[in-house]
Amino acid sequence: MLVNARDILLKAKEGKYAVGAFNASNMETVQGIVMAAVEKKSPVIIQITESSMKYAGARELAEIVKTVVQERSNSVPIALNLDHGKTLDLVRKAVELGFTEVMIDGSRQTFEDNKNLTKRVVDFAHGENVPVQAELGIVPYLGEIDTSELNWEVLMTDPDKAKEFVDFTKVDFLAVAIGNAHGFFREADNCDWERLDRISKLTNIPLVLHGASDWSNGKTDNAIKGGICCFNVDTDIRLAFMHQLCQTIGSDKCTITDPRKVMDPVRTAIKKKVIEKINFFGSALKA
């Protein structure tokens, strides 16, 4: 069932486990995520980016998520999140389409501009009973920053500014930078667990970790202890999709003429990857 993300993440914070937020861009990805959630009896968040909206159609993709959740999820709670929204207009569109969480990402703006943009989004979204996630600090992407000049101390979230940010904006969830990175960008050799613990204590809201595709066992355990309630997973979903697709097709002499014979194993591969993450995050049987 489609639920408000507050219902999922506040329970995760209280229960000291984390939930996976998995990116989706087509029907098979959505189905694989939901099938895994149902099998493991785990709450999950399905995420859609602006680029996926442009690829598949915003309304079409949102309706796919809502339909699959309605038909397949039974009583397993699932939220639908706008991932890395950059403007209030996009947030308004997501709320209109029935998203049950929105993220406004002003992390590349100045601290004051990020605060003010987030506050405007929160004021609007809370009026529609939709919770808001924001990001403070820099979680880098490959090609965004010259790694030879990398200064993780500058990129990481400042705990005191995090408290000021949350107090001013009244944001519901905060994505933090503690040495984590998106995609194939090399992360810091050691994540700053003390920083994470301080941010958690000062803000007292569910914290989110982006760039978590390659995080497993030990690192996820430490992150959860430090206050992370949600791990974003995008790259690993894409890799599982493409690896299985290439494996099924096999070569340029592929004789498969029925796309269902290709996409069914892809859907199964997505399900398997999501189950793996659910086990890491400790959310199985929490539905």
Model confidence pLDDT, tens digit, residues 90-123? 999 999 999 999 999 999 999 999 999 999 999 9
Query: To the nearest 5 percent, what fractions of the chain are helix, strand and coil?
Result: 50, 15, 35
Q: Give CA–CA dist 287/281, Å, rounded.
A: 14
Q: Phi-psi bin for 96: left (phi > 0), alpha (psi -120 to 50), beta?
A: alpha
2 pLDDT band (50/70/90 cuts)?
Answer: very high
Residue 142: its pLDDT value, please? 65
Against a cut of 0.75, is the pTM above it? yes
Is domain 5-281 annotated with CATH 3.40.50.620?
no
Q: Give CA–CA dist 173/270, Å, rounded.
A: 26
Q: Which residue has the tokens 């705990």?
A: 159
In the chain, % of residues over pLDDT 90: 78
Q: Are 118 and 88 in contact (CB under 8 A)?
A: no
Domain boundaries, the chain: 5-281
61 pLDDT band (50/70/90 cuts)?
Answer: very high
Q: Give CA–CA dist 145/155, Å, rounded.
A: 11
Q: Which residue has the tokens 């990175």?
A: 181
Query: In the chain, count of helices (H) and strands (E)?
Result: 12, 8
Query: Residues with catalytic annotation?
Result: 83
- C-alpha distance from residue 44 to each of 47, 203, 268, 277, 281 (Å): 10, 23, 17, 11, 11
224-265 residue pLDDT tens: 999 999 999 998 999 999 999 988 888 666 777 788 988 999
Q: Are strands 207-209 and 101-104 parallel, antiparallel or unpaired?
A: unpaired
